[in-house]
Amino acid sequence: MSRRRHWLMFARFTFPSFMPHFPLQQLAVSVLCSLAAVGVWAQSAPVAETEDTTARYQLTYNWQHHNAFKAGYSGANSLSSQSERMYTFSTTAHWGFRPWQDGELYFNPEVAAGIPFSGNLVGLGGFTNGEITRAGGSTPKLYRQRLFVRQTWNHGGEQEKVDSDFNQMAGWVDKNRFVLTAGNFSTLDVFDDNAYAKDPRTQFMNWGNWTYASYDYAADARGFGWGFAGEWYQDNWVLRFGRMTGPKEPNGLPVDFALGKHYGDQVEVERGHMLADQPGKVRVLAWRNRAQVASFNDATQWLQSHPGLQTTPQALIDVRGGEKIKYGLGVNIEQAINPSVGFFLRAMKADGRTETYAFTEADGSLSTGLVFKGGLWGRTDDAVGVAFMRNTLSPERRGFLAAGGMSYFIGDAAGATQTLSYRPEQVLEAFYSFQMTRGTWLTADYQRIQNPAYNADRGPVHVYAARLHAEF
């Protein structure tokens, strides 16, 4: 089942606006309880040097609004050109303990709810809210987010302090070590880290800023899977490799456990360095998926031989069969300019010959920006970020859309002459994160999307957001 169909199955709408069935009173109580707990924790629970157990929690509410915008035409998978609102809500427990020496076991139950723009997850390559993949309607749903084990083998060198964090217990490890993670987790838990652009709950919100938009990493519709990842640390170098399960159907929720037949592989090399006495890292990531997905060229030929059936996803469904390979290569840079200013850049190119397997619709992506820490203006835990993104499509995907094709996330076709006026999708995002109390932040965010879903005949779209985040 696709992410798009996931919405149709789980979402139940009573109100035409963004207002959820999830009572606002219930939300208010949850928020107040969380804030109270944060206050208690802040005063009475200092972090130990070494932890054998951990219990950390987070709560995030993200409200977004986009303006009415110019649209020459609209199709079945277009973002609505009318002014509208959306929201997501999530609360997560991160529990862990050490079952044996250098071993860690983590379990994350999560409750999530939310309604996307246009009542469905469509109309963009770079979606505006990183939490929306885990929300399936206005009714809050409890599910297992993660269940995994991590084992560390120390191999000498200097000792490094590991700070207490979500799914991470405080302690000490050797600088030279091997770490194995196995079980139910997200590929992004291990790969494609970045100090300045990674977490949509605390940093930038757009999908193209918390990972490469063209990184079609294997996962279910919520962004998680089963598999393993190894990390070999040697001085300032890290080598990572791993294999993860994907969905039974592209962008679906049910998991394909045939890990020897259908999978997502990735290899990443990371090097830490000092530049002008400031720390930085460079990562190079290569990935390869093997799955039953449709070829865009085959789907385009199907459309040409079935006139009148454009603007439906039938072309991709009918030509889907047999295993195909999809791959990509990207570079990720983070660099501190000074203790209060950081720079990041991500760039990736995917082959783009087959439909999206598990993430979003982009075959080339670039994101870059700056993050300023609040110490510059006397508020240490505040932050300001500004970033620019540019997403592109392969010639094969462009040809399919220009022929009137519709995939699961995009498809503006409204007739034989109203299909796709291709231009790269460009996004400007800026945010201010304001710390209200220790452990709670309120963030204002703005995104300007030029050529939504790669169509110059639509947009620009202006998106305004307010996000409440608490952790304790």
pLDDT digits (tens, 9 = 90+) for 31-72: 444 444 444 444 345 556 899 999 999 999 999 999 999 999
Which of 188, 209, 207 has the alpha carbon at shortest distance from 361? 207
Q: Cα separation of 326 and 396, whole Å?
A: 13
Q: Which residue has the tokens 């804030």?
A: 35
Model pTM? Answer: 0.89
Beta-bridge mates of residue 142: 111
Low-confidence ranges of the chain (pLDDT < 50): 1-44
CATH number for the domain spanning 39: value is: 2.40.160.180
82/71 Cα distance (integer angstroms): 10
Helix crossing, 395-402 with 296-305: angle to 10°?
20
**322: which 2 tokens?**
């047999």
pLDDT at 5: 42
Q: Residue 73: its pLDDT value, please?
A: 94
Residue with tokens 């089963």: 226
> DSSP string of 397-457?
HHHHHHTT---SS-----BTTBS--B--EEEEEEEEEEEEETTEEEEEEEEEEESGGGBTT
In this predicted structure, what is the pLDDT of residue 416? 78
Structural domain count, the chain: 1
| pLDDT tens column, 82-120 | 999 999 999 999 999 999 999 999 999 999 999 999 988
Query: What pLDDT is stored for residue 10 in this prediction?
Result: 35
**pLDDT (0 to 100) of residue 20:** 40
Instruction: List the alpha helices (DSSP H) in 267-379.
Output: 296-305, 314-319
Q: What is the pLDDT of residue 46?
A: 57
3-state secondary structure 84-106: EEEEEEEEEEEEEECCCCCEEEE
User: Which domain range does residue 141 map to?
Assistant: 3-44+51-471
Neighbours of 99 (CB within 10 A): 10
Q: What's the confidence (pLDDT) of residue 306? A: 86
